[in-house]
Amino acid sequence: MPSAESVTERAAALRAQIARHDRLYYELDAPEIPDAEYDRLFRELQALEAEHPALRTPDSPTQRVGGKPLPAFAPVRHVVPMLSIRTETDTESTGALNFDARVRRELKLDDTQPPVEYAAELKFDGLAINLRYERGVLALAATRGDGETGEDVTQNVRTIHEVPLTLVPQPPAGELSGRPSLFDAPSVPEIPEVLEVRGEVYMRRDRFDAFNLRADAAGERTLVNPRNAAAGSIRQLDPAIAARRPLSFFAYGLGEVQGWNVPATHAGVLDALAAFGMPVCDHRAVCSGADALAAFHARIAEARAGLPFDIDGVVYKVNSLALQQKLGFVTREPRWAVAHKYPAQEALTTVQDIEVQVGRTGKLTPVARLA
């Protein structure tokens, strides 16, 4: 009979293995083992925890799916408000120039002074979420709500494999997957006492399509679009339903922080979050001045159709956190950030015919045939 120490060590090893393979599969698209082997490891951990309940930790991969449906969502007061950012409605390159001009004007910089450094990233089309980690363990997940108060959706967010249940310093992505990364943090940060990570829950287009194919074949209700699917999944009262939805997550900022030396720049914050094991999008850049922002906007516009997820623009942020604090807010929007949108992806077509399909359960579904 194995000793208690050896059982504890085996459970810890299995948790680490499963977490590593989750990152390879869900974040890096570079799985090393077949699904059957992953399932074998998972079942072994489940069996150990069933036999030794004291080993079942809150951050165990087996605890991603909560059991009982929630009667309702409890309100959560954000320590640091989750405010929205201004939208630049000028979808041309001049939108970037307008933002830079406003920032320079607020900072009282004339044409002789050097360009402002910005962090540029994607504007994901999903649902904003605040993840609260206490001593490195996910303690709470909440929606934005009205910015001051959101909803407790912890059980549903725990079902998202890309959301770490515990912050564990990670090897660089290039070392883990064999692929180089431009954004590996130079050193592994210490785990903060409290770290609130803000980001977007979204659904990849390929996973959205695959889910709808399965649902349609089973005569079940299909999802309307990836954004609504992400928001609706997170607000399911039954975590088991949320667990069946193929959701993903990208981190893009911070809320409350205690016991951590926050990096001096926004780009440094994202690098540090990646080093904690948080999924951070690689489509980001540090840009010097307005022309570099406009070039980023144009580059992402060309790549937009090939992205595996939906975006509706890019976001520019003054990179220096000290300058962000100096710029402050106006009418609850930061002066140091803007969302630079793209033109809506719309087109005119002709409806050639409408067919009615009969599902396995007899459900009738009208299907439009377009030119």
Using the 8-state DSSP alphabet, how is residue 145 labeled? T
Q: Which of 115, 116, 153 is nearest to 132 (CA)?
A: 153
Number of H-type helices and E-type strands within the chain: 11, 15
DSSP string, 226-287: HHHHHHHHHT-SSHHHHHTS--EEEEEEEEEEES----SBHHHHHHHHHHTT----S--EEE
Contact predicate 107/95, CB 8 Å? no
Cβ atoms within 10 Å of 248's Cβ, excluding its own: 23
Cβ atoms within 10 Å of 257's Cβ, excluding its own: 17
Contact predicate 284/122, CB 8 Å? yes
* Residues with active-site annotation: 123
Q: Can you tell me the distance from the alpha carbon of 348 to that of 153, in angstroms, rounded to the nearest whole number?
A: 39
Entry field: residues in the chain: 371
Q: Can you tell me the distance from the alpha carbon of 53 to that of 63, in angstroms, rounded to the nearest whole number?
A: 12
Contact predicate 99/90, CB 8 Å? no
